[in-house]
Amino acid sequence: MNMKNKQYLVTGAAIDSEIGFAICQKLDAEGAKLILVGRREEPLQQTKAQLGNEHYVIPFDLSQLDDINSLAMTIVEKYGPIDGFIHNASFQGYSPLRNISPKQIRDYFDINFSAAVMLTAAFSRQKHFVPGASFVYIGSAAGQRGLKARTLYAASKAALTSLTKSAALELASKSIRVNCVAPAIVKGAKSNKQFLTIGEQQTSMLLASHPLGLSEPEDVANCVYFLLSDMSNKITGSTLAVDGGFLAG
């Protein structure tokens, strides 16, 4: 589907976000206009410089939950209503139970879950969205399968899956679809860093648990594109795994 004249907001759109950048490249190639959101302006500008169409950069810290409504109002006033958003921004890491603190809980849930709730509430207001809009969260296979020492990350991503179902039911009357994409391990610098952290033995086990191999960032971007497009116009409340078979085992 040609996305010319469509406008989407992408969080976590910095060039060093492998999935976020791949999503931006895919939507740009299909003609969409993008609103690039992230904490750091320079990496957002670098993303914009790599794309071909007209796009906008808005530096914003999504952990500032009280300001998300104002962010949405500013975006709509400047650029008009959106055809959807992709919440890709994510707080990641390991959280062994022996070291968990209340601040860590807030760090994971503010970005991964609470920001998604606030974005959904803000952009589902009248005149903030185009009828037929599609909201997509980037979740994780970790939210559907237990992983040692990833309690907070997994729980925050599981919460996104639950949000997807409830928000889809509530917003269907507004012709807004809500879905989630759940990657497992995705190739790139972040997964390489993860492998160094967990060691050779656990890395081998993780690789073996992906029978089709690790996904590429482009695989996730293609799934997002499908969920934004009219090809999925009867899909809502779903979490689609892009996991190389990780959840099948």
Domains in the chain, please, with CATH? 7-248 (3.40.50.720)
Question: Please, what is the average pLDDT of the chain?
Answer: 95
pLDDT mean over 206-230? 95
pLDDT digits (tens, 9 = 90+) for 134-186: 999 999 999 988 778 889 999 999 999 999 999 999 999 999 999 999 999 99
Query: Could you tell me which residue, 121 or 92, shows the higher pLDDT?
Result: 121
> Which residues are catalytically annotated?
153
What pLDDT sits at residue 191? Answer: 81
Q: Band of the pLDDT at 242, cuts 50, 70, 90?
A: very high
Q: Where are the alpha helices (DSSP H) in 172-216?
A: 189-198, 200-208
pTM of the model: 0.94
Nearest to 225 by CA among 131, 130, 134: 134
- Rounded CA separation 109/120 (Å): 15
Task: Indicate if the pLDDT at residue 43 is higher than 80.
Answer: yes
Please check the confidence at residue 247 and state whether its pLDDT lies above 90. yes
pLDDT for position 86: 98
Contacts of 83 (CB under 8 A, 6+ apart): 6, 7, 8, 32, 129, 130, 132, 133, 134, 228
- Contact by Cβ (8 Å): 223, 242: yes
